[in-house]
Structure formats: structure tokens, C-alpha cells
């Protein structure tokens, strides 16, 4: 099908390079979802046969997610997506600790997703003291730096597993362990949360191996439907519900559950984790192929994030003397779909807070491009991008150069 770009050009080719923003629903997920739209559509809280069937499907989905995460089914809370999961984790855990008189100090980093940062700023309105830790030039924070920030009044620590923009992976298990040691020194509980929204397709999610107390996921990042999410809450972690009502999700998140979506999400998560190694191998090969080609055709492109400790499918580049939004539009006219940063902030685009926190100069930060690959891309797709991207960059520079 011919696709019309916002710039008005036409192309028959489409190469989707924005998997960090959203993925297609897997056929296997869609298949298990369909009956719950038309046959077993009843409310899972109802006590009749239809409601019982829906509740059983929901219980099965919860058990699948629990097995993937290595947790218990009662530790799984279903939500509407990553943003809700993150909001509930930070606000629910922190405010429960405040209520218990445990303190009012929250630790996170400068490069977190806006759902984390805005939730942290929200907590400040209620008197909490939020400390944002700096990162190095790769976007990483050390376990020692996080542990040093923990105080006797710390009620929550939140560090993202993998950055949604530059793809840098944090040493989460080591950071969480360092926080636990500090908590033992103080003789109290300090819950540790990680935003794992970008991690599900390629990184292990076992909550015991990661040593985390709370973990957030979003279904549409790994082949599930939009509007579905997971919040893992380790048993015994204080939590104050953020959505009150009928008491669903063991009183932790009220509201009628999205049964078809959650059934599909659970299936997609199970498959994503089962295929994670294949995903890593294939996408890292594609990424390295594209990087290799661009080194020749676009040698001044700068790769952001850690060179090795990064998501296998992520490429985040800066192009001097080019605006990222203009480059995204130019590539779109050629059938190449990617982003200049996080898709959820593109409506109010501004220089990436992640890049600025990493020390990247403003003039470079405004020329950033995020490419996130899929195992389904072909070598021909990569070659096409490698041929069109330098051309788009060159034309933009020529257009901006003085006559």
C-alpha cells in the first residue's frame, strides 16, 4: 500500500525502526485475545459462569507472568501500561513508607523515563525529598554512587533497567544489592524499583536474580497490545493503592481488568522471554551491520550510550548540524520510520534530558536520532537505510547552509 508522508512525498517501501516506541501485536497474542472480545466477554468480577471463565483466564495470565518473572501470582498487578505501573510503583511504595513514618527520601537518576521523573516531582509536592543522581558519559550510574545516596530516611530507590532513548543497560542486580546492604546497615526496608519497560524482549527479568522489589512492564513494547502493563510488587513491600474502587487486583489497583489485552500480553511476554537470546543475536547483527555501513557513508555520526552494555536493537546517533525532528521527517518521506527521541514526548519536543545529563552538548543533542530494530528486518532493509540516511543528512545540511 502506498504511504503518504507528512511532508507530502510518496513511497511504497516501509522500514519500521521504532520498536522502542511500539511493536506489532504478535499473532499468537492476538489469537488468544479474540475469544474474550466476543465469547467470554463477561466481567471477571461477576459470579456467573461467564464471569468465572473470564476470571480463570485472568488467573492463568497472571500465573504465566509470575512464572516469567520468577515471582508469585499474588505479586503480579495488572495495569494499563508502563506509565501507570511506574506511577503506581513510585507513589504507592513511597507514600506507604511515609505513612509508616519510615522517612521521606527518594533516590533516582537524571536519565529516567519521564514517567519516573514526573512521578518523583509529584512526590515532592507532598513533602518528599527527591535526589536525582548524575550519570557518566554513557548514561550509567554505579552501584557505589547509588548506595552512597541512600540515607536512614530513604523510602524508595528507582533505577531504570535499560534507557528508553540511548539503550544503555544499568547493572541493576549490583545496584539493587548495594541498596539492600545499606538497608541492612540501617536495620530497615528500602524498596528498590526498576523500570524494565524496554528490557523484556532481550534481557532477563527474573526478579530474584535482579534483586528488585518492584518492576514495571508495558505490553506493547514486546508484542502485546497497547493498554496493558504489569507491576510486580514483592510480597511484604509496603504499598498504598493509587486507584481506588471495587478492590480488584487484591486491593492494589481497582477497575475492571482488560481481560483480552492481559491474556494477549501474558502470551507475548512468555514468548518474548523464551526468544530473548535469538532476539539479541539477530538484532545485534543487524545493528552492527548498519553501524559498519554508516561509518563509511556518514563518518561524523556519533553513537550515544554505552558501546557494549546496551540494548542489542538500539542505535542512538547524533548528527552534527542537523535537527533531529527534520531528519525524522526527511526519512519518513523515504519510508523509514524512526524517532528523534522518546515517542511519548515528541508532541512537545525539546532537547533530550538524557543526552544533556550525559554531557552531550546542546548543539549535538538537538540532532539526535533513535533507531530501534526488530529481528524481522532483512539485510536489504539495513542496506536501504544505510543508503538513504546519509543522503537525508546531506540534503538537510545543504538546505541549512548559507547561499
Q: Which residues participate in catalysis according to the annotation?
A: 344
Cell of 124: 515532592
**Cβ(169)–Cβ(306) below 8 Å:** yes
Residue pair 92/234 in contact (Cβ under 8 Å)? The answer is no
Distance of alpha carbon 351 from alpha carbon 364, whole angstroms: 9
Q: Three-state DSSP class for 343?
A: helix
Cell of 45: 468480577
Q: Are 371 and 304 in contact (CB under 8 A)?
A: no
CA distance 64 to 269: 9
Cβ proximity of 235 and 75 under 8 Å = yes
**β strands within 120-279, DSSP E:** 129-133, 154-158, 192-195, 214-218, 229-233
Query: How buried is 144 (Cβ within 10 angstroms: 0-12 exposed, 13-18 middle, 19+ buried)?
Result: exposed
Contacts of residue 245, Cβ cutoff 8 Å, sequence gap at least 6: 254, 255
Amino acid at each position: 500500500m502506498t504511504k503518504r508522508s507528512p511532508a507530502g512525498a510518496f513511497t511504497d517501501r516501509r522500514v519500521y525502526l521504532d520498536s522502542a516506541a511500539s511493536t506489532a501485536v504478535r499473532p499468537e497474542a492476538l489469537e488468544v485475545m479474540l475469544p474474550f472480545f466476543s465469547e467470554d466477554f463477561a466481567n471477571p468480577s461477576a459470579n456467573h459462569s461467564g464471569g468465572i471463565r473470564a476470571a480463570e483466564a485472568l488467573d492463568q495470565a497472571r500465573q504465566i507472568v509470575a512464572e516469567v518473572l520468577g515471582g508469585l501470582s499474588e505479586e503480579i498487578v495488572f495495569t494499563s501500561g508502563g506509565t501507570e505501573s511506574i506511577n503506581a510503583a513510585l507513589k504507592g511504595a513511597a507514600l506507604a513508607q511515609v505513612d509508616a513514618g519510615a522517612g521521606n527520601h527518594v533516590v533516582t537518576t537524571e536519565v529516567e523515563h519521564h514517567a519516573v521523573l514526573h512521578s518523583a516531582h509529584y512526590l515532592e509536592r507532598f513533602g518528599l525529598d527527591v535526589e536525582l543522581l548524575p550519570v557518566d558519559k554513557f548514561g550509567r550510574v554505579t552501584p557505589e554512587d547509588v548506595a552512597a545516596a541512600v540515607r536512614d530516611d530513604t523510602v524508595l530507590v528507582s533505577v531504570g533497567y535499560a534507557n528508553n532513548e540511548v539503550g544503555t543497560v544499568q547493572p541493576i542486580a549490583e545496584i539493587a544489592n548495594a541498596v539492600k546492604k545499606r538497608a541492612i546497615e540501617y536495620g530497615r526496608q528500602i524498596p528498590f524499583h526498576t523500570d524494565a519497560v524496554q528490557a523484556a524482549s532481550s534481557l532477563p527479568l527474573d526478579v530474584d536474580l535482579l534483586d528488585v522489589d518492584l518492576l514495571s512492564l508495558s505490553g506493547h513494547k514486546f508484542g502485546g497490545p497497547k493498554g496493558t502493563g504489569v507491576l510486580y510488587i514483592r510480597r511484604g513491600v509496603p504499598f498504598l493503592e493509587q486507584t481506588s474502587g471495587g478492590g480488584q487486583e487484591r486491593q492494589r489497583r481497582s477497575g475492571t481488568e482488560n481481560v483480552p489485552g492481559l491474556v494477549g500480553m501474558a502470551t507475548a511476554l512468555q514468548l518474548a522471554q523464551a526468544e530473548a537470546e535469538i532476539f539479541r543475536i539477530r538484532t545485534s547483527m543487524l545493528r552492527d551491520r548498519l553501524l559498519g555501513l554508516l561509518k563509511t557513508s556518514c563518518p561524523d555520526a556519533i553513537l550515544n550510550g554505552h558501546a557494549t552494555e546496551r540494548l542489542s536493537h538500539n542505535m542512538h546517533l547524533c548528527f552534527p548540524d542537523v535537527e533531529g525532528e527534520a531528519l525524522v521527517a526527511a526519512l519518513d518521506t523515504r519510508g523509514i520510520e524512526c524517532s528523534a527521541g522518546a515517542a511519548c514526548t515528541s508532541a512537545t519536543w525539546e532537547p533530550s534530558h538524557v543526552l544533556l545529563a550525559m554531557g552531550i552538548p546542546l548543539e549535538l543533542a538537538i540532532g539526535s536520532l533513535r533507531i530501534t530494530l526488530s529481528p524481522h528486518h532483512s539485510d536489504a532493509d539495513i542496506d536501504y537505510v544505510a543508503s538513504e540516511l546519509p543522503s537525508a543528512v546531506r540534503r538537510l545540511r545543504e538546505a541549512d547552509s548559507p547561499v
